Structure formats: structure tokens, C-alpha cells
Amino acid sequence: MNIENYSPVEFVDCLEDKKHTMLLYDNNEYKIAVQNRFVINGLQKGEHCVCFTTGDPKQFENELSESSVDLEPFFKQGLVHIHRIEDVVEKELDSSLQEALKQITVDVKPYFRCVGRFIGNISDEKGLKLKLKLKMLSNLFLTL
């Protein structure tokens, strides 16, 4: 898989430091590659990277290890934070999202990058509505 000319990867490589950015991927085949590039670019700049999932954190760690970069030094420096969170679809969104954001960022210092999924299934109407609300809430939380 050649990802170098895939526009989301090019975008991730050109991100300015210390900016709030949300990247949605349009091709599941490249999801892990784009996610890893985003995380690794931050780690190489000394930024903390917060990874969260509604699934198994070990799977997230395995996905990160698919990159060609040795991540062990970053784990030892405490720059990689992987958390399992509850799917917010099953709870009241406002309070559960705010609690999850506080929980996953408690041990990190600015500037940090976040990557992951709060909503397990976004293919139905409820999931799509929650995704939009999540975007609004994350903007509010990250600008406070």
C-alpha cells in the first residue's frame, strides 16, 4: 500500500503545530496508516498522543506497531496513552463525553494529539447525530 500520495496523509504531514484539528477518513483501507502517521508525527515532535477506543486497547497498540517506527522509546517516555472508553451511544452523551475527555487527558501535558473513536457505530441515525454532537462538544472542551 502506497500512502505517500493519499491526500489525508499529505494533510497530516503538513499540519501546523499546536492546532485543533479533526480528520475524518474516507477510505477504511487507509485508516490505520493515516492514524499512525498522525500519532507518529506528534511523537517525533515530543507531543503526548492520547489514543482511545471503545474496543480492546491492545488492538490499538497493535495497529500503532504496524508503522515502521520503533515506538518503544515513546512508550518509555510516557508520551503514548491508550485508553478504553465506554461507547457514548449507550450513555447520556454530554456527561459521558465530558467525563471521558477529562479521563483520557488527565496525565498529559500540552501539546497533545488525540485519536480514536467515542462512538462504536456511526452508520445509523443515532450514531450520526451523536457524531455531530461529539464534534461540537469536543470543540467546546478543547477551546476552554
Residue 126 is assigned to a structural domain of this protein: yes
pTM for the full predicted model: 0.71
Residue 124 is assigned to a structural domain of this protein: yes
Residue 2 is assigned to a structural domain of this protein: no
Task: Dump pLDDT digits (tens) for 90-143.
Answer: 566 556 666 777 777 777 777 788 787 666 666 778 777 777 776 776 665 544
Can you give the residue range of the structural domain that contains 135? Answer: 7-143
User: DSSP state, 74?
Assistant: H
Residue 18 is assigned to a structural domain of this protein: yes
Q: Count how many domains the chain has.
A: 1
54 CB contacts (<8 Å, ≥6 apart)?
Answer: 84, 85, 86, 87, 117, 118, 119, 120
Task: Dump pLDDT digits (tens) for 91-104.
Answer: 665 566 667 777 77
Residue 113 is assigned to a structural domain of this protein: yes
